[in-house]
Structure 1
């Protein structure tokens, strides 16, 4: 249970840090690039460097998928930051964590992993409820923008849905790679190559923007990126440790983890940042929790009773 709580805290802190970036006018993309470099350093130091870099690693079949995942990660991370700024912490948290609908469908329709359980009407109702939850949690009143520039209703819905799609695609890609290409003892290398891919893409884009004069690098991006990178790395580390603690039962753990992040994100947004949630937003928040429960109610019942 301790690792589950630490995973929730680390993951929730990411959207809070993005909100602080907005408050202190930190160049978000620059900080995100530094964040992935920090993840590499923390991962290397925390593992003692053992088993992370091995001869012939780059010739493995999973490397291309890992690098593609790294590209998706940095793009999604930036979109989460943008959504946090423009729509709110709650909408960003809901869209990111409710995206498990996509890898579930991918597992059913593409990988044909339906032998794990028989999907019922309640499971599919949960998937539909997840989509509705994104809409409800993203609707912002026109006269309440928390001091920010007004955002159009279309844009307020579009950003969370893009996050929903890219996060789901990333999880599905991990599932596919793990199913067809990755060995269990290669997990740490896969993670580090993914972070490397994110860092390379970020550095190339940042270098291009600097050369073309479209951006100027600010020194405050470095401590901001380090502040973001440490919990980013440990959000994954603690999640893996929590999986081991729960007997590697992801179908039970992921909904609990995601519900915790959604609720903690909403509570923190209200308490720390004065984010105003309407009755519609609260309904979306509640529906997100219900959706996650419906999607995995069989595993929840089996583990509780």
Structure 2
């Protein structure tokens, strides 16, 4: 999830007649030993206060010590990764921006370094802007580039940091923009009154042929990437480079931007607080993020090795 500063509205799903917050994990059988764990952050690995619990820290370290790579796969931009940068062991890599970038969190001078960028072409982004303005009047936009966020004057303060510049989308995406040399990672679209899932459905109906459109916020905020760019497709590229098959991947998530990744992975877990679409596609269920659902499953995996 690309987390807004005010946290997530709670989603209570029902599993087996009890609320998901109190349900025990449902664990599928592993056809092959896992070689990589891919986990979303907000609403999944992180607790609602954006902390990583001591139990989770220990589980991640134990997985890496057992030879299982851990990849954080998030909608967050790289600059929001400080909360977990100390817990990426060995390779130091994370997938950010819903697959738009692979980032080395142990990069130069203590900062991050972009390893792979799957950009959204500015012309395509502008085409989506015009399409959504017509389909959903009142939509405002922000542009996430490698160097920071830029947004329209009417775009609300949903992000964890202020925008680098404020201007209409046409100017933000112009070829002569001051930051035109920085690739566009995501286009963000916000609507003040539409229900989040309705906004997603509407946007996909009008612009799915132009870009990949998803959501992870409790507000009507859409995250728009280049065609074919998703957490799943970039994770697949990273795994192919390592000779890791989907059957050797265990994935965790909670929101619509995780659906493709959970479907792709050989074994997948929906958090107890997950969106209904996530609960529907995951092969396993665990407890909520505030109950260390990811750590519980990792512990079970390691116990079975």
The bucket for the TM-score relative to the shorter chain is: under 0.3
Higher helix share: 1
Higher strand share: 2
TM-score between both structures, scaled by the size of structure 1: 0.26
